[in-house]
Amino acid sequence: MTEVTAPEQSAPLTGTQTLTLAKALNAGMRRAMAEDPKVLVMGEDVGRLGGVFRVTDGLQREFGEDRVIDTPLAESGIIGTAIGMALRGYRPVCEIQFDGFVFPAANQIITQLAKMRLRSLGQVTLPVVVRIPCGGGIGAVEHHSESPEAYFAHTAGLRVVACSNPVDAYWMLQEAIACPDPVVFFEPKRRYWDKAPVDTEAPAAPMGDAVVVREGTDATLLAYGPMVKTCLEAAEADDRSLEVVDLRSLSPLDTPALEASVRKTGRCVVVHEAPVFGGLGGEIAARITEACFYHLEAPVLRVGGFATPYPASRLEDHYLPDLDRILDTVDRTFAW
């Protein structure tokens, strides 16, 4: 009879480590799984392969096939199964392989995952995390570079967050896993290889808080996910003092923090990769205008993708907001 041995578990990272965003997500999941045996990871190729971006690399070897589950290619089945498991007390972390693949699961997410807590008058919670690599910039094919955050931010009952750097990736994912509400967790795939020191003992700001990542006095750039780094680069390249705020939480919005920045600077530009029409920037602009009307020196302007499907990879540099488009829009705010 062959003896079955338990998977060997490595100790969680300690101290300050320099990690890529992808490795920070991996470390965050590893720590959450080590601390709570009810945390499971599931998705297409997340086990043996470690995910197409290797975000889950090594987790199946460490925690076993019953906790890191390779699923069939069926996003609706992944989320539906996760809902059932959450009802039984587990905390599933579901990986959607690419952003454009989430739509087959939209029915489960919108009609079941988002509604159960209210439907049960708070007696039932569904602590499910849906991880979605989002955005372009990697030269991918169709359905691999989309920004579907507005669909889920519009859906009451979901928390929607977006990390932009390794520190937030590590801490926000752990907080999302511990949250009693379902969390849609967007990860900027073109930032997966960005590195930064991560202090594993000093938690980042709560995932519901917006954070000023660059102080300024002349205008505010509001961004999230992949566009935070682009806005920081734009601010560094400009002679004016531009403040950059990372939203981090898309639903709910940390409106007091956004308003405080705009009241200070008097000008605001909202930047995201998703198309401007119907995008999250419209909601943000409306809220800022309502709350900061008498502080604004110019209308709140938006920079985003065009109202077309995401183009072929050879055209994506024309589609994605860049420094020139951001700074041209900042120039417009000073022309009023």
Determine the residue type at 144. H
Q: How far is CA 74 from the centre of its chain?
A: 22
* Tokens linked to 251: 């639903």
Same fold across 16-199 and 211-334 = yes
144 is catalytic: yes
**DSSP conformation class of 54:** S
Domain ranges of the chain: 16-199, 211-334
CA distance 141 to 131: 20
Cβ(163)–Cβ(248) under 8 Å?
yes
229-251 tens-digit pLDDT: 999 999 999 999 999 999 999 99
Closest CA relative to residue 210, chosen from 274, 164, 273: 164
Closest CA relative to residue 209, chosen from 151, 168, 153, 266: 168
Give the Cβ contact number of residue 12 at 10 Å.
Answer: 14
Among 144, 154, 272, 295, the one annotated catalytic: 144
> What are residue 88's DSSP bridge partners?
none
Tell me whether residue 322 is exposed, middle or buried, using C-beta atoms within 10 angstroms of its C-beta: 0 to 12, 13 to 18, 19 or more: middle
**DSSP conformation class of 81:** H
Mention the CATH class of domain 16-199.
alpha beta
Sheet holding 249-251, edge to edge: 68-70, 39-43, 91-95, 129-134, 183-188, 159-162, 249-251
* pLDDT tens, the chain, 336 aa long: 334 344 566 666 778 999 999 999 999 999 999 999 999 999 999 999 999 999 999 999 999 999 999 999 999 999 999 999 999 999 999 999 999 999 999 999 999 999 999 999 999 999 999 999 999 999 999 999 999 999 999 999 999 999 999 999 999 999 999 999 999 999 999 999 999 999 999 999 999 999 999 999 999 999 999 999 999 999 999 999 999 999 999 999 999 999 999 999 999 999 999 999 999 999 999 999 999 999 999 999 999 999 999 999 999 999 999 999 999 999 999 998
Q: Under DSSP, is residue 161 helix (H, G, I), strand (E, B) or coil?
A: strand
pTM check: above 0.75: yes
* Tokens linked to 6: 């338990």
Measured distance between the N- and C-terminal CA atoms of the chain, rounded to whole angstroms: 81
* Tokens linked to 82: 């996760």
113-127 tens-digit pLDDT: 999 999 999 999 999
Q: Which CATH architecture has domain 211-334?
A: 3-Layer(aba) Sandwich (3.40)
Cβ(217)–Cβ(241) under 8 Å?
yes
* Tokens linked to 185: 């967790």
